[in-house]
Amino acid sequence: MDTPKERTGWDDRELEASVDAYLKMLSLELSNQPIKKADENRLLREGPLSKRSASSVEYRMQNISAVMAQMGLRHIVGYVPAKNVGTGISSRVRKILAEKNIDRFRLTPEPANQQVTYRLIEAAPPHADDVPEGILNPTQISTATIRYARAKKISDWILKQSEGRCEGCKQKAPFLRSDGLPYLEVHHVKHLAKKGSDRPKNAVALCPNCHRRCHYSSDRDEFTAWLYDNVARLRRE
Ligand SMILES: [Zn+2]
Ligand SMILES: [Zn+2]
């Protein structure tokens, strides 16, 4: 909510300046560059938002996150969508956004990439019924051929249901494989070497960075705990 001294409504110029700053930060975030929210906030208040307080600018950014989410667009992770956007503000922000180059922020891929998604879905719809059984104890499978075939089925399923996004950082796969599918790696949350199973409840699709993080980073235990808390399919083994 705006503070009482700011009862005066936001004009379009102020909203547009907020939207522009927001999209600039979102672009940076999506290309894994640091964003300095406090600096952007200050710059806005030194310029077009000179009538507004820091907290009010901050709240406006959260409003924009809410509208972005409603429009099926990605939003800045650090600005949690503030749902109680005044209806007037919400539709004006929406209108301003519609004039911007926002297609690149869509959560579902645009036509150029959609072929990939369609191929994934045709190959095996990610319904719960399709969850493959997997292998409780892969090291005890007797023939290498069967073991490979089954493991491949699990990893294919894990990759399909990820819909091309890392289940750690939620970013799109960093690049496409030579066959046109998104490049992600399958990680066994409880490592196979520690007798973790090769089953959907113990496997995640990760980008190479998040995968290395699970194995080598100083916060790998915390990151692993985070995966258990945030990927509903996973169960501790
Ligand atoms: Zn990742
Ligand atoms: Zn791994």
Query: What spacing in Å lies between the alpha carbon of 145 and ligand 2's midpoint?
Result: 22
Would the pLDDT of 16 be above 80? yes
Give the closest ligand to the alpha carbon of residue 198: 2
Q: What residues contact 206, with CB distance under 8 A and at least 6 apart? A: 166, 167, 168, 184, 185, 186, 187, 214
Confidence bin at 129 (pLDDT 50/70/90): low
CB atoms within 10 A of CB 74: 19
- Amino acid identity for residue 11 in this structure: D
Task: Write down the mean pLDDT value for the chain.
Answer: 82
What does the pLDDT average to over 165-189? 93
- Contact (CB, 8 A) for 124 and 130: yes
Question: For residues 1 and 58, which has the higher predicted lDDT (pLDDT)?
Answer: 58
Domain boundaries, the chain: 4-105, 111-230
- Contact (CB, 8 A) for 93 and 35: no
Q: What percent of the chain has pLDDT over 70?
A: 79
Give the closest ligand to the alpha carbon of residue 166: 1
Alpha helix (H) residue ranges in the chain: 12-30, 37-46, 54-70, 87-98, 111-123, 144-161, 208-216, 220-230
Would the pLDDT of 147 be above 90? no
Would the pLDDT of 224 be above 90? yes
Q: What are phi and psi of 18, to 5 degrees?
A: -65, -45
Give the closest ligand to the alpha carbon of residue 212: 2
Confidence bin at 118 (pLDDT 50/70/90): very low
Protein residues within 5 Å, CB atom, of ion ligand 2? 187
For 30-34, 48-52, 128-132, 211-215, which range has the lowest pLDDT when averaged over its residues?
Answer: 128-132
Please report the pLDDT score of residue 124 as a whole number. Answer: 45
CB atoms within 10 A of CB 85: 22
Quick one: tokens of 197?
A: 């199973």
**DSSP letter assigned to residue 202:** G
Query: What spacing in Å lies between the alpha carbon of 28 and ligand 2's midpoint?
Result: 28
For 53-57, 120-124, 126-130, which range has the lowest pLDDT when averaged over its residues?
Answer: 120-124
Please report the pLDDT score of residue 145 as a whole number. Answer: 41
Confidence bin at 166 (pLDDT 50/70/90): very high
Query: What spacing in Å lies between the alpha carbon of 206 and ligand 1's midpoint?
Result: 5
Query: What spacing in Å lies between the alpha carbon of 156 and ligand 2's midpoint?
Result: 15
Instruction: Please tell me the distance from the alpha carbon of residue 227 to that of residue 141, in angstroms, as a whole number.
Output: 28
What does the pLDDT average to over 33-61? 92
What does the pLDDT average to over 97-121? 61
What does the pLDDT average to over 71-76? 87
Query: What spacing in Å lies between the alpha carbon of 166 and ligand 2's midpoint?
Result: 13
Would the pLDDT of 230 be above 50? yes
Query: What spacing in Å lies between the alpha carbon of 16 and ligand 1's midpoint?
Result: 32
Closest to 41 in 3D by CA, of 85, 3, 79, 95: 79
Q: What percent of the chain has pLDDT over 90?
A: 50
Query: What spacing in Å lies between the alpha carbon of 224 and ligand 1's midpoint?
Result: 12
Please report the pLDDT score of residue 70 as a whole number. Answer: 84
